[in-house]
């Protein structure tokens, strides 16, 4: 190989390097994105929600978006499977530059990585809000929208600050999920723990262990915990079935004894936002707004 | 029944009754809420807790346990095979399919309507099972439970598929894994219909014993075989469907309880039926109490506890040498 060919190779290699190769923070740590992506496939509702806030339209989306607000994203986009099962053939046919997975689809990251580079943007637990901001910043850098990302963070911070002020000094809360006739409880450290952590809401039962689907509890548990506020996630509503509502499940003689029920301080959280799109910037804002509104109304 | 056997059974009866009574009282005392027995009648709230939560839960466990054990006994009689039960041979899975379809088609249907749909589906599923089971060669006794497992598995797979499509998988767990945590006054009373089925089973107990001899023998003895088969099917289906609707599926009860009782006391259903019912109640109530205690104040579903306990009992049944043949 003579010098000229080496020089030619070097020149070619340099020209092939993208304008801005970036390192961005994912759930699996720093990942280098070599090619600035223009065509992306997203298999996580929280990521879709945040990207939507930044005005980024993915080329591939899941079959079911759960949040009606995200429905316009489907127009002109390919369906590339669902949250639990990516459609690898559709993904290959689409040929995106980057695939984003997270939460429910994060287990399929190695499968979709066979198609093209995949980043895992999962968020969970107590510092969900901090992670949501990290993801926002990462998307901002990745898609050249740092200014929008910064303003979205500001907006989010303002909402949270307002909610904190509304919540302060109005008693403790218990987060429960109803699934048909059955109830599970969540505490700090659980997947919904961020409500306690980010909004400074004291927990009625501080030591509920962090099981993914909560701890199965009886109505006696709720009666004994006697929370000032009940934050209710109706799982059936989250997945869009018209099943027995949380209200029917909770409307019984034991729950009726709690302060929360007596003072009409039961908050039904926006289910899909809280449960499916947890960590999406717009979703967090809607959840926080619902909570703030209820606490503000309380005397 | 010989005099010795009668003595034996009255002794066993005392033991079973005593155990059930002890568990009954114990169950009333176990729970998250504070319920000091001393203040039962002086403090209205204590009595209220007992009547709203503890007593319904205890009764629900007893009714479910007794019902499922009897359903297992009858199913084993009808299939003439000791290793089938509603939870494995398609009855419970059919009931689930029924509830699932009602949930999808008529989301606002009442619990009673759901139970009816579940019962109808269970009846259909069990009939199909028995029709096929009766065609299997009697010389190969393990074909029947094997077929039952496959059949139940196929229906279960259909249920899972439909639930998956409709994104109802976790909602499905409400029925697939039995759990008494949602039981309160006003939310379990349908189970008393199951008790009615047990009474009917007791009334026709002698005829059921004859049915165990097979179709030809029972017709020869003057039994209206087809009518009895229908009645047995209805009893099994209604009991299983009600249990699935109200508390969810509980495995093993219908399998191990009739087997243990028949090993101890033989196959005269008139004589064994009360013990089957009592033992089923003891087993389910005991497992529910365990589930309430292991991770107090949280709960382990009774279906999960029973999966472990029932599995162990079943292994013991398989490996233990029969005391008398």
- State the pLDDT at residue B108: 75
Residue A218 is nearest to which of B103, B173, B299, comparing CB atoms? B299
- State the pLDDT at residue A5: 59
Q: What number of C-beta contacts closer than 8 Å exist between A and B? A: 92
Q: Which of A40-77 are b and which e, b meaning 16 or more Cβ less than 10 Å from the residue's Cβ?
A: bbbbbbbbbbbbbbbebebbbbbeebbbebbeebeeeb
Tens-digit pLDDT string for chain B (325 aa)? 456 666 667 788 889 999 999 999 999 998 888 777 777 777 778 888 899 999 999 999 999 999 999 999 999 998 888 889 998 889 999 999 999 998 888 877 777 888 899 999 999 999 999 899 888 887 888 888 999 999 999 999 999 999 888 878 878 888 889 999 989 998 899 999 999 999 999 999 999 999 988 888 999 998 999 899 999 999 999 999 999 999 999 999 999 999 999 888 888 898 899 999 999 999 999 999 999 999 888 999 999 999 999 999 988 888 876 655 4
Interface contact flag, A180 B299, Cβ < 8 Å: no
- State the pLDDT at residue B2: 55
Distance from CA of B164 to the nearest CA of A (A): 10
Put simply, whether A239 touches B (Cβ < 8 Å) is yes
Q: Which helix (H) or strand (E) holds A217?
A: strand A215-217
- State the pLDDT at residue B107: 75
- State the pLDDT at residue A17: 47
Residue B181 is nearest to which of A182, A213, A235, comparing CB atoms? A182
- State the pLDDT at residue A160: 96
CA distance B272 to B70: 10
| DSSP per position, B87-103 | TTTTHHHHHHHHHHHHH
Measured between beta carbons, the chain A residues lying within 8 angstroms of B168 are 239, 241
pTM of the model: 0.87
Q: Which residues pair with A182 in a beta bridge?
A: A179
Residue entry with tokens 């003072």 = A263
CA distance A95 to A115: 8
Measured between beta carbons, the chain B residues lying within 8 angstroms of A181 are 174, 182, 187
3-state secondary structure of B34: coil
Contact status, residue A195 vs residue A231, Cβ threshold 8 Å? yes
Distance from CA of B52 to the nearest CA of A (A): 7
Token code pair at residue B68: 């499922």
Put simply, whether A130 touches B (Cβ < 8 Å) is no
- State the pLDDT at residue A8: 55
CA distance A59 to A94: 8
CA distance B133 to B141: 10
Q: Which of B160-189 are b and which e, b meaning 16 or more Cβ less than 10 Å from the residue's Cβ?
A: bebbeebbbebbbbbbbbbbbbbbbbebbe
3-state secondary structure of A32: strand
B11 contacts: CB under 8 Å, gap ≥ 6: none
Residues written for chain B: 325
Distance from CA of A214 to the nearest CA of B (A): 10
Which of B43, B45, B53, B169 to substitute to test the interface with A, most A CBs within 10 Å?
B53
Interface contact flag, B107 A64, Cβ < 8 Å: no
Token code pair at residue A218: 């009886």
ipTM of the complex: 0.86
Measured between beta carbons, the chain A residues lying within 8 angstroms of B108 are 242
Residue A219 is nearest to which of B53, B173, B298, comparing CB atoms? B53
Distance from CA of A216 to the nearest CA of B (A): 5
Interface contact flag, A242 B107, Cβ < 8 Å: yes
CA distance B129 to A149: 61
CA distance A189 to A185: 12
Put simply, whether B184 touches A (Cβ < 8 Å) is yes
The residues in B 277-316 lying below 8 A from A, measured between CB atoms, are: 292, 295, 297-301
Distance from CA of A272 to the nearest CA of B (A): 13
Q: Where are the alpha helices (DSSP H) in chain A?
A: 3-16, 45-53, 88-94, 109-112, 128-142, 146-167, 194-199, 219-225, 235-238, 246-250, 259-262, 271, 281-297
3-state secondary structure of B159: helix
- State the pLDDT at residue A16: 46
Helix B169-176 crosses helix B91-105 at what angle (to 10 degrees)? 140
Measured between beta carbons, the chain B residues lying within 8 angstroms of A215 are 295, 298-299
Residue B104: closest C-alpha in chain A: A241
Interface contact flag, B33 A223, Cβ < 8 Å: yes
Look up residue A203 and give its DSSP letter: B
Interface contact flag, A235 B184, Cβ < 8 Å: no
3-state secondary structure of B244: helix
B147 torsion bin: left (phi>0), alpha (psi -120 to 50), beta (else): alpha
Put simply, whether B169 touches A (Cβ < 8 Å) is no
B116 contacts: CB under 8 Å, gap ≥ 6: none
Interface contact flag, A180 B181, Cβ < 8 Å: no
Q: Which residues pair with A217 in a beta bridge?
A: A183
Q: Residue B46: which of B34, B61, B62 has the closest Cα? A: B34
Put simply, whether A235 touches B (Cβ < 8 Å) is yes
Q: Which of A113-124 are b and which e, b meaning 16 or more Cβ less than 10 Å from the residue's Cβ?
A: eebbbbbbbbbb
Helix B143-165 crosses helix B91-105 at what angle (to 10 degrees)? 20
Put simply, whether A247 touches B (Cβ < 8 Å) is no
Measured between beta carbons, the chain B residues lying within 8 angstroms of A239 are 167-168, 171
CA distance B156 to B96: 8
Q: Measured between alpha carbons, how far apart are the two ends of chain B, in Å?
A: 17
Q: Where are the alpha helices (DSSP H) in B106-168?
A: 111-133, 143-165
Question: Which residues of chain A have a pLDDT value below 50?
Answer: 1, 14-18
Interface contact flag, B298 A181, Cβ < 8 Å: no
Measured between beta carbons, the chain A residues lying within 8 angstroms of B295 are 215
Interface contact flag, A179 B187, Cβ < 8 Å: no
- State the pLDDT at residue B215: 86
A35 contacts: CB under 8 Å, gap ≥ 6: A18, A21, A97, A98
């Amino acid at each position: 190989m003579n010098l000229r060919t080496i020089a030619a190779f070097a020149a070619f290699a340099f020209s092939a390097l993208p304008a801005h190769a970036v390192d961005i923070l994912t759930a699996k740590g720093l990942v280098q994105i070599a090619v600035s992506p223009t065509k992306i496939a997203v298999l996580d509702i929280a990521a879709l929600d945040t990207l939507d806030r930044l005005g980024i339209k993915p080329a591939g989306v899941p079959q079911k978006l759960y949040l009606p607000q995200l429905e316009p994203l489907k127009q002109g986009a390919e369906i590339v499977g669902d949250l639990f099962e990516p459609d690898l053939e559709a993904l290959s046919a689409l040929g995106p530059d980057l695939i984003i997975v997270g939460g429910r689809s994060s287990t399929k990251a190695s499968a979709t990585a066979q198609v093209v580079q995949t980043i895992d943007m999962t968020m969970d637990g107590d510092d969900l809000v901090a992670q949501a901001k990290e993801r926002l910043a990462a998307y901002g850098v990745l898609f050249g929208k740092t200014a929008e990302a910064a303003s979205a963070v500001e907006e989010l911070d303002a909402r949270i600050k307002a909610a904190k002020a509304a919540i302060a000094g109005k008693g403790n809360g218990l987060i429960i999920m109803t699934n048909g006739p059955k109830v599970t409880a969540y505490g700090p450290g659980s997947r919904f723990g961020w409500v306690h952590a980010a909004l400074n809401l004291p927990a009625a039962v501080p030591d509920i262990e962090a099981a993914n689907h909560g701890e199965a509890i009886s109505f006696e548990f709720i009666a004994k915990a006697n929370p000032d506020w009940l934050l209710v996630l109706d799982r059936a509503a989250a997945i869009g079935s018209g099943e027995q509502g949380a209200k029917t499940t909770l409307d019984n003689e034991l729950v009726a004894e709690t302060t929360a029920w007596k003072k009409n301080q039961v908050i039904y959280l926006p289910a899909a936002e809280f449960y499916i799109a947890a960590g999406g910037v717009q979703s967090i804002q809607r959840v926080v707004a619902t909570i703030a509104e209820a606490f503000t109304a309380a005397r | 029944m010989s005099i010795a056997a009668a003595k034996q059974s009255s002794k066993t009866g005392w033991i079973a009754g005593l155990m059930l009574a002890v568990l009954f009282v114990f169950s009333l005392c176990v729970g998250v809420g504070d319920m000091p027995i001393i203040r039962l009648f002086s403090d209205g709230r204590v009595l209220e807790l007992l009547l709203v939560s503890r007593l319904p839960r205890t009764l629900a466990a007893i009714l479910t346990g007794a019902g499922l054990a009897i359903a297992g006994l009858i199913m084993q009689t009808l299939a003439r095979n000791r290793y089938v039960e509603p939870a494995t041979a398609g009855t419970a899975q059919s009931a689930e399919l029924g509830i699932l379809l009602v949930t999808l088609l008529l989301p606002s249907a009442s619990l009673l309507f759901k139970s009816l749909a579940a019962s109808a589906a269970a009846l259909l599923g069990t009939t199909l099972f028995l029709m096929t089971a009766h065609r299997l060669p009697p010389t190969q006794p393990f074909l029947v439970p094997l077929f039952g497992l496959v059949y139940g598995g196929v229906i279960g797979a259909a249920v899972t598929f439909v639930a998956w499509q409709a994104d109802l998988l976790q909602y499905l767990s409400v029925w697939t894994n039995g759990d008494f945590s949602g039981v309160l006054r006003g939310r379990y009373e349908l189970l008393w219909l199951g008790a009615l089925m047990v009474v009917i089973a007791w009334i026709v107990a002698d005829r059921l014993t004859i049915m165990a001899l097979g179709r030809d023998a029972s017709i020869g003895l003057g039994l209206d075989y087809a009518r009895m088969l229908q009645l047995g099917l209805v009893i099994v289906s209604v009991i299983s469907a009600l249990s699935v609707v109200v508390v969810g599926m509980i495995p093993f009860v219908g399998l191990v309880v009739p087997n243990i009782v028949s090993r101890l006391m033989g196959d005269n259903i008139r004589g064994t039926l009360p013990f089957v019912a009592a033992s089923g109640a003891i087993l389910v109530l005991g497992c529910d109490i365990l589930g309430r205690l292991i991770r107090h104040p949280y709960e382990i579903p009774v279906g999960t506890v029973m999966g472990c306990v029932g599995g162990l009992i079943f292994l013991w049944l398989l490996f233990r040498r029969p005391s008398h043949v």
